[in-house]
Each structure stands twice: as C-alpha cells, then as structure tokens.
Amino acid sequence: MKQLKGNAVVGQSGGPTAAINASLAGVIRGVSAHRDLIPELYGMRNGIEGFLSSDCVSLLPLFEDEKRLRQLEQTPAAALGSCRKKLPDPKKDRAFFDDLIARFREKDIRYFFYIGGNDSMDTVAKLSAYLETVDYEMRVVGIPKTIDNDLADTDHTPGFGSAAKYVAVTLSEIVRDCAVYRVPAVTIVEIMGRDAGWLTASAALPGAVGAEGVDLIYLPERPFTFEQFTEDLQNAFKRHPNLVVAISEGIRSPEGRYIGEGAQSGAADAFGHKYLAGAGKVLEGFVKETFGCKVRSFELSLPQRCAAHLASDTDLTEASLLGSSAVSAATEGKSGAMAALERVSDKPYQCSVVFRPVAGIANAIRKVPDEFINRAGNGITPAGIAYLRPLICGERTLEYKDGLPIHVII
C-alpha cells in the first residue's frame, strides 16, 4: 500500500447530536497520531457548503491537549457547524466536482473525513465515485452519526446511545413525576424518529431494567389504530391510574398516513390561524374525548438530540474511536468507506470497528426489526432490550463552570 502524504479536511453535516463532536475529537486524535503523513487538519465550517466558500479553520493548534479534546467531546451539536447540502450527480455535473478537486489540490488535501448521516454518506459516496475518474489521489472516509440509528451496515450509530440515554432517563423521571397523584391521567410523550422507532424504543429501558417504566410504546414500524390504542389504555388503567405513553412522531395508520398529518390542535392565534399539531396532540385530543380523564402531551424536542450533559460514555467513546479509526484506516489506504460498528457480544458488551463500502448506505433505512417489537405492537421484547441496554451505559464526569457544562466554541 502506497503511503499518501498530504493534509486532511473534516466536516460535520446533518442534524446535531450529543456525540458528533466526540467523532470530531477522534479525527483530531487520529491525525495527531499521524502527523508524519498528515501535517495539517482543516475543519470546514458548515460542512461541504463552507468548504465551497473556503471557510476552513486549522484545527490542530486549537486542540493541543487532551483536556481541550475532552471539553470538545462534552459540547453538543456540530462545533464546526452543519449543512444539509446534497451534492449533484457526479455524472451530470462534472464542473461542480472539478471545482471541488481544485480546492483540494490548492490546499494539498489528501484525506477527506465527513461525519454525518444518510445524506453525508451520499456526499462521501459521490465524491469517492468521482475521484475514481480523475487524476487526483484523495482518500474519503465517512464517519456515521445520527440519533435516529437508522443507518445501514452498522450495529448502531454514534449519537444514538446518548439520545437513547436522554430518552430513557427522562422517561424514568417523567414516570416518577406522574406517579405522585392518584387521579387517572395519561401523559403522552412524543419522540423523534419519523421512519425508524429506535429512539422511541429506548423508552422501554427503565421498565426493563427494574425501575418503573412507561406503559405503552408505539413505533412507526407497526401500524397504529385507535381501536387498539383504546384497548391498550383500558387494560393499562386496570393496573394503575397514571399512564405514560411513548410514541414516535412517525406513527402511521394502517393506510400509511401519519397520525399527525393534517391534524389541527384547535389552538388559534390572534389572527385566527390554526396550528398543525403533532401525533401527540392528536392522541391527546383522542384520549380526552374517549376517556374524559386528565391528559397531556408534549415532545421531547431538541433536548433529546443535544443533551450532552447526559451523554452515554459508551457512545462518546465509540464516536471518538470511529473518528480516530477512520484516520488510521485512511492512512492505510481505505477510501470510499464508512467506519462502522460490529457487535461482538451483548454480555459483556463489545463492539469492533469495521469498514463498509459507502455506496448503497446512503439510501437504505435500517428500521427496528420485527423481533424487537412485541406481538401487540405496544412494547419492546427482551431481544430489543438486550440490543439497546449497553448503548446507554456509562456516565462521564463533565467539567462544569458556574453550574454549566463547559462548551467549546470553535
């Protein structure tokens, strides 16, 4: 294998997570360990979009010690900024790619690392496909991240474990909160995940590991019917009066229509405009109508993806490992690949880093498999719990100042 000397560039793309900066820290660690081959590491601001306008920052001088890298790891959301730019088809828009290559050449960039989800892997795939056709050697490796855990060809994705830990811990706290009164009440918590229910499935963890758990869980992988929901609630009320229900924002009717689709909350503003409501608000209205009991719903919203203060140590450690492994593998010749995790065992939990061809990953969505969802479609099986449990384990001791976790702003 030919040694390739030259600089590296790294970018972050897609929605924020609590672990995406740990992946960046891993890339910085990886490059620092290969300074003989890679003298300079550029960070592109706002992903490929920033690179196209030469908006780059030299990263190595900013992170010369491990303490600063640990602070970066406890910083949520993409420290370099993000974008949602989709690259054109390399066969159709060669000018776009030629411009890109000229920019790489100008900075002697020979290593390209991109941290992101499906769309980012699409960028990696297109860029490496184009590189096959031109006389410029550059190695391109994708580093996965998404709270949705729906990327193909990896056991799980960095960012998911921390989001799952946030969901599990928060639901365990909400269950305690709801348990204090004796009046019948339903609390509906809407969780991110339009097409895959991984994050909502994590709501099953408190109940499965001995704490008090949520009563019902609905994922987009199974059709949702109001008849079944009514029956499920009736049965749950026989056990205790304070029900907590976790639903994915993407739950759908048997006909495939989103439950939240086209629904209106009934609230109107000063101008009489009505608001579109989510699935939670629709179920809230339904429960009020059907059961007449106290009911409320809310979304976990942004905190579920950016609550770095509650990150899973397993997640942050793996995120960094994938980042540094991507660099090592690239120096050894790997390109057009995504760093991925392969589970070796559940007990003790062990994953190894593998590299998978990036072509094809971009367009696949990995859903929660059938054997992880119970027959009634309202809970998670022991197999699902065995998969999820290790991913939320471990807590970091964060560095705080004035009562707030320290965040690194690049």
Residues in 254-293 at the binding interface with its own copies, rule: CB under 8 A = 262-263, 265, 267-271, 273, 275, 278, 281-282, 284-286, 289
| Residues 319 to 378 in contact with its own copies, rule: CB under 8 A | none
Q: Strands 185-191 and 242-248, how do they pair?
A: parallel
Q: Considering the complex, what minimum distance in angstroms separates the CB of residue 249 from its own copies?
A: 12
Q: Does 48 interact with its own copies (rule: CB under 8 A)?
A: no
- Using CB under 8 A, which of 29, 70, 156, 165 touches its own copies? 165
DSSP string, 201-225: HGGGHHHHTTS---SEEE-TTS---
Q: Does 44 interact with its own copies (rule: CB under 8 A)?
A: no
- Using CB under 8 A, which of 71, 123, 128, 170 touches its own copies? 170
| Residues 217 to 236 in contact with its own copies, rule: CB under 8 A | 226
Q: At 245, is the secondary structure helix, strand, or coil?
A: strand
Amino acid at the residue 345? S
- Contact letters (x/-) for its own copies, 178-197, by CB under 8 A? xxxxx----x----------
Q: Which residues contact 39 (CB under 8 A, 6 or more apart)?
A: 7
Closer residue to its own copies in complex, CB, 7/46:
46
| Residues 95 to 154 in contact with its own copies, rule: CB under 8 A | none
CB distance 229 to 190 below 8 Å: no
Nearest in space to 23 (alpha carbons), one of 32, 15, 12: 12
Q: Is 328 left (phi over 0), alpha (psi -120 to 50) or beta?
A: alpha
User: Residue 123: enclosing H or E segment and its boundaries?
Assistant: helix 118-131
Closer residue to its own copies in complex, CB, 375/401:
401
Q: Considering the complex, what minimum distance in angstroms separates the CB of residue 267 from its own copies?
A: 4
Contact region with its own copies (CB under 8 A), list: 29-37, 61-69, 167-175, 324-332: 167-175
For residues 202 and 280, give the distance between their C-alpha atoms in angstroms, rounded to a whole number: 17
Cis peptide before 348 (omega within 30 of 0): yes
Q: Considering the complex, what minimum distance in angstroms separates the CB of residue 93 from its own copies?
A: 23
Q: Considering the complex, what minimum distance in angstroms separates the CB of residue 15 from its own copies?
A: 8
Q: Does 176 interact with its own copies (rule: CB under 8 A)?
A: yes
Q: Considering the complex, what minimum distance in angstroms separates the CB of residue 214 from its own copies?
A: 13
Closer residue to its own copies in complex, CB, 170/378:
170
Closer residue to its own copies in complex, CB, 302/364:
302
Instruction: Retrieve residue 313's tokens.
Output: 């140590």
Which strands form 337-346's sheet, in the order they lie side by side? 56-58, 41-44, 7-12, 109-116, 139-144, 337-346, 349-357
**Which residues participate in catalysis according to the annotation?**
148
Q: Does 307 interact with its own copies (rule: CB under 8 A)?
A: yes
Closer residue to its own copies in complex, CB, 95/180:
180
Neighbouring C-beta atoms of residue 36, cutoff 10 Å: 9
Closer residue to its own copies in complex, CB, 11/220:
11
